[in-house]
Amino acid sequence: MFDHCLYFNTTALARVLEREWTKVFKPFGLTPSQAFMLRVVLEKPGLLHSELATELAISRATTTRTLDGLQKMKLLERRTTEHDGRQSAIQPTALAIAMKEKLNAAGAEVTKRLKKELGITHFDETVTKMRGVRSALG
């Protein structure tokens, strides 16, 4: 019935992937959304709130909620910028920095497994095509 429906098929795929990534990040006490945001902050400390939202392709409101949760967990902090007191630069805490390697290794392990299950070429082509679709529609 929905063989050619982009919405149905991407949403169904997202649910499958959500379950996979939830299992991976559960030992860290993180949701997939929190873990991906934390990984960005660890890789690019000092991003502004708006830059983080853009990087993750999410709304500013969603960014705020996820940042609030990570801040409560003492994994990141917001620091007022010198240029504009209304802007916050997002910085990882020592606790987050200490978990960076394990967090990235867990993510890499899932990606490795998915590439094995799908085949590297199919995996890479799928990700590239999905990014293209997202870019064209976004």
Q: Is residue 30 part of a domain?
A: yes
Please give the radius of gyration of the chain, using alpha carbons only, rounded to the nearest integer.
Answer: 17
Is the pLDDT score of 43 beyond 80?
yes
- Weakest-pLDDT range from 46-50, 64-68, 71-75, 84-88: 84-88
The number of folded domains in the chain is 1
pLDDT for the residue 80: 86
Q: Is residue 131 part of a domain?
A: yes
Q: Is residue 16 part of a domain?
A: no
Distance CA 47, CA 90 (A): 6
Q: Is residue 113 part of a domain?
A: yes
Q: List the CATH number of the domain containing 73.
A: 1.10.10.10
Structural contact between residues 90 and 76, judged by C-beta atoms closer than 8 angstroms: yes
User: Per-residue pLDDT tens for 70-129?
Assistant: 999 999 999 987 776 677 899 999 999 999 999 999 999 999 999 999 999 999 999 999
Q: Is residue 8 part of a domain?
A: no
Write out the two tokens for 79: 């620091």
Report the predicted TM-score, pTM, of the whole model to 2 decimal places. 0.89
Average pLDDT, the chain: 94
Write out the two tokens for 112: 């490795």
Number of H helices, E strands in the chain: 6, 3
Confidence of residue 3 (pLDDT cuts 50, 70, 90): confident
């982009």: which residue's tokens?
Answer: 6
pLDDT for the residue 84: 65
Structural contact between residues 45 and 90, judged by C-beta atoms closer than 8 angstroms: yes
